[in-house]
Amino acid sequence: MRRILELHILPYFAKRKLQKISYRMINTWFIALREKPTRNDKKLSNITCNHALTCLNVVMKEAVRLEYIHTNPAEKVRRLIEKPKEKGILTIDEMHILFDENNIDKIWNGDVQQFTFNLLSASTGMRMNECQALQVQYVNEKYINVFWGWGRRYGLIPPKRNSRRKIPIPSKTSQYLFNLIDNSHYRLSEDLVFHGKDRNTPIRNEFILKRLYEALEHIGISSRDRIKRNLTFHSWRFFYNTLIRGRVPDVKLRRLTGHRSEQMSDWYTRFNVSDYQDVLQIQEEYFR
């Protein structure tokens, strides 16, 4: 949230004493933030405003924890109603073109690592930070063990909502993962599969997005179309969910994606990797 901090919080609060920051002051700032023009002379979205409030909330909570102040005045401010734009996904035909291994040089600029990174997310629904945190020891021939996520500040962290899980992978994904591991001469089981400059640091988010957006342009999806369709890396998670939904029981799908259900019966259901043969059949059908 560094950019939000620099653009929207520090200009207003940087020179104010913590003890002088009140609920009314924060609420006044928050109301003004909603009307603040952007570079395109548009108002900030409710989502961005809420992100700014969340960021400020973290600061004030820390001030309470350190006993600089007694209460957090930001927690009383009401968040705005969010209406996020619906996430877009690629069509099956577009996915097949994007992952045509005969066109890796043309579409992915020869970057097999990024080809594999996106293939992994598309065929498993893994989040970006879960792919970044994937260690060699958690790659099996038939499945991935999602044990960690990656936090920019903290390094290896539990996946969102502590959703550690096993996900079956199709043979194509398995092949490219093991080719990547074999060609990189990994030394330790804790080495990251998709590492950056060193084996304990993953490739950066910005580079991942840059490569994906370039690949989309190479298959005919311009930057304008991508933005209009709201295609992002997280679209792979929507793609996977849509692909599997209705073809296996929802309780299985939620176990694979790490999504939570309000029904306790779902929470107590347990599956082994051998129970996912129907999922593997679907994966093989689309990612062969």
In a domain, 85, yes or no: no
Q: Are 220 and 176 in a shared domain?
A: yes
Domain that holds residue 47: 2-76
Asked if residue 13 belongs to a domain, the reply is yes
Residue 81 in any domain: the answer is no
- 70/107 same-domain check: no
| Same domain membership, residue 201 and residue 133 | yes
126/9 same-domain check = no
Phi/psi of residue 90, nearest 5 degrees = -75, 155
Question: Are residues 249 and 149 part of one domain?
Answer: yes
In a domain, 186, yes or no: yes
Based on the domain organization, do 22 and 102 belong to the same domain? no
Look at the chain and report how many structural domains it folds into: 2
What radius of gyration do the chain's Cα atoms show?
22
CATH number at residue 30: 1.10.150
> The CATH number of the domain where 262 resides is what?
1.10.443.10
Tens-digit pLDDT profile for the chain (288 aa)?
888 999 999 999 999 999 999 999 999 999 999 887 766 667 888 989 999 999 999 999 999 999 999 999 999 999 998 877 788 899 999 999 999 999 999 999 999 999 999 999 999 999 999 999 999 999 999 999 999 999 988 899 999 889 999 999 999 999 999 999 998 877 789 999 999 888 999 999 999 999 999 999 999 999 999 999 999 999 999 899 888 888 888 888 888 998 876 343 333 345 677 778 889 899 999 998
- Predicted pLDDT at 224: 95
Residues 164 and 31 in one domain: no
Residues 6+ apart with CB under 8 A from 214: 109
Helices (H) and strands (E) in the chain, counts: 15, 4
Do 260 and 143 fall within a single domain? yes
Residue at 84 is within a domain: no
Please tell me whether residues 53 and 149 are part of one structural domain.
Answer: no
In a domain, 185, yes or no: yes
Contact indicator for 136, 188 with CB cutoff of 8 Å: yes
Same structural domain, 69 and 111: no
Q: Which long-range contacts (CB under 8 A, 24 or more apart) does 21-28 make?
A: 21/60, 21/73, 22/73, 23/73, 23/74, 23/76, 23/77, 25/73, 26/56, 26/73, 26/74, 26/77, 27/76, 27/77
CA angle 144, 107, 197 (to 5 degrees): 55
Both tokens of 107, joined, read: 């579409």
Which of 29, 51, 76 terminates a domain? The answer is 76
Q: Domain boundary residue among 50, 76, 102?
A: 76
Tell the residue number behind the tokens 């690629």, with chain if given: 90
Beta bridge partners of 157: 149
Judge whether 214 lies within some domain: yes
Identify the pLDDT of residue 15. Answer: 94
Residue 265: predicted pLDDT:
32
Q: Do 112 and 255 belong together in one domain?
A: yes
Tell me, yes or no, whether 256 lies in a domain. yes
Which helix H or strand E contains 235, and what residues bound it?
Answer: helix 235-244
Q: Cα angle vertex 260, ends 255, 266, to 5°? A: 60
Both 123 and 31 in one domain: the answer is: no
CA-to-CA distance for 51 and 231, rounded, in angstroms?
A: 21
How high is the pLDDT of residue 64?
96
